[in-house]
């Protein structure tokens, strides 16, 4: 999701496989994080992840990379391609909550500077990840695999 030429990276990985060899790749679909709509802070979480994804997209990150992965792996000539998604839950004390706190903090100045969130909203968003009453779906982590033809 962070590479400018993802297709070239996949082709390079496939090129390193022996005939019959398998490739397994994983990427998140960053645009798929969703809060529990009943949770306090759900609207703020949705606004915050939208702001974060906009900043990431502007920086060249493909926030939809995970949902495109199956088609991308098929496009590089692998066979027996299949895949599945996994959705961790973000809750207070979880690795996902800490990840989001650190990640959003890194982009705080840009998000606030662009007017996507106020400084107060940013503080409340970061506090959500320590709130035991808050829960959200993390990004879908897509895993796709395929085999190089014999």
Q: What is the dihedral of CA 11, 12, 13, 18, to 10 degrees?
A: 90
Of the candidates 149, 126, 125, the residue with the CA atom closest to the CA atom of residue 21? 149
* Blockwise average pLDDT, block size 10, the chain, 150 residues: 86 96 94 86 94 94 91 96 95 92 95 97 96 92 97
Tell me the DSSP string of 48-59: HHHHHHHHHHHT
Q: How far apart are CA 134 and CA 38, in angstroms?
A: 9
The reported pLDDT for the residue numbered 36 is: 85
pTM: 0.84
């Amino acid at each position: 999701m962070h590479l400018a030429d993802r297709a070239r990276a996949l082709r390079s990985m496939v090129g390193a496989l022996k005939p019959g060899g398998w490739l397994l790749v994983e990427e998140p679909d960053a645009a798929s994080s969703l809060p529990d709509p009943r949770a306090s802070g759900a609207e703020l979480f949705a606004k915050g992840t939208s702001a974060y994804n906009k900043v990431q997209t502007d920086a060249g990150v493909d926030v939809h990379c995970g949902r495109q992965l199956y088609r991308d792996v098929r496009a590089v000539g692998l066979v027996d391609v299949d895949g599945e998604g996994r959705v961790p839950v973000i809750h207070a004390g979880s690795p996902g909550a800490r990840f989001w706190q650190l990640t959003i903090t890194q982009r705080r100045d840009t998000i606030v500077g662009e007017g996507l969130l106020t400084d107060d909203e940013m503080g409340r968003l970061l506090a959500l990840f320590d709130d035991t009453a808050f829960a959200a779906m993390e990004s879908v982590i897509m895993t796709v695999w395929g085999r190089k033809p014999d």
